[in-house]
Amino acid sequence: MTPNTNQTLGEFIIEHEKAFKYTSGELSRLINSIRLAAKVVNHEVNKAGLVDITGKAGDTNIQGEDQQKLDVYANNRFIETLINREIVCGIASEENDDYITIQGQNKAHDNKYVVLMDPLDGSSNIDVNVSVGTIFSIYRRKSPIGEPVEIDDFLQPGNQQVAAGYIIYGTSTMLVYTTGHGVNGFTLNPAIGTYYLSHPDMKFPDDGNIYSINEGNYVHFPQGVKDYIKYCQEECEEENRPYTSRYIGSLVSDFHRNMIKGGIYMYPNTAKAKNGKLRLLYECNPMAFIAEQAGGEASDGYQRILDINPTELHQRVPFFCGSKKMVEKAEEFMAKAKSK
């Protein structure tokens, strides 16, 4: 399909609104709010190095990780934008200990959606001018409309998502999202502040030759992961191996590259992080939804990510995501090692 670079994100949302089974317009307004907040964060990211926005903020988040100044800034901007527009009834963020109940003047408890987000994925790369991103996930609430949100509104399996997406702040800024009808990417024209459809109907190649993993943790990986890495590195002309190792350290960036070129991203459990490091609700579920909508797969090594029932807000899981054949092959090695 030829990119319709004359179609804006706003026009695209309106045009495709009827394809969504809930046509009240709230979801469209919610996506538009995320678009607005992303533009504000993008402006600040682009000033890194010129103003005092890089480095540590001096606090740690619920995971015990040092918060970067831009982590805090991005978190505040997204929360403020969503609250001020009174579109959602609750927000959960990787940077906050607990979820936020929104009590607006105009009956915010009547709103239907909750948002879960990683406001600035890969923020440790900011100081060295490497691409970072924002990840978001949207669900319909389970609690009665008109009442404050409850924890169960956020602890839903990923297969209940109504929309998910990410913004990548790179050489160009892109917003990529799905509402369950394929994946589309929009590139920001910074001159006029408008996103244009640049990557329609994005798809993972069925197979690829890129594997993305922090091999510095190799000695701590499960045996199945070690065996799969060896497989990736072995020479096999018929299968186009050895594969190429590419790891940026920003989930959004690694995922985005692999979706375009074909590859697998892996963050397994290790001897140090027995449940993995990535968060199920803020990172794995939204990226898994996007991956499946783009023809890829996402797994914890043994089961589909989107079928996992969350038990806590900041739950961590191992994550294998990317081209279908590569994820399936990694699962083969995991199953074989587990059976020994």
CA 56 to CA 69: how far, in whole Å? 6
**17 appears as a binding residue in the annotation:** no
**120 appears as a binding residue in the annotation:** yes
CA 140 to CA 180: how far, in whole Å? 14
Q: Do 272 and 310 contact (CB within 8 A), yes or no?
A: no
**42 appears as a binding residue in the annotation:** no
**277 appears as a binding residue in the annotation:** yes
**166 appears as a binding residue in the annotation:** no
**262 appears as a binding residue in the annotation:** no
**124 appears as a binding residue in the annotation:** yes
**214 appears as a binding residue in the annotation:** yes
Q: What's the helix, strand, coil split of the chain in %, to 5?
A: 35, 25, 35
**207 appears as a binding residue in the annotation:** no
CA 300 to CA 27: how far, in whole Å? 29
CA 337 to CA 283: how far, in whole Å? 27
CA 231 to CA 336: how far, in whole Å? 13
Other Cβ atoms within 10 Å of 307 Cβ, number: 12
HSE-CB for 184 with a 13 A CA cutoff: 22
CA-to-CA separations, 181 to 127, 279, 295, in angstroms, rounded: 37, 25, 12
Q: Write out the binding residues for Mg(2+).
A: 94, 118, 120-121, 283
Q: Write out the binding residues for substrate.
A: 121-124, 214, 247, 277
Q: Write out the binding residues.
A: 94, 118, 120-124, 214, 247, 277, 283
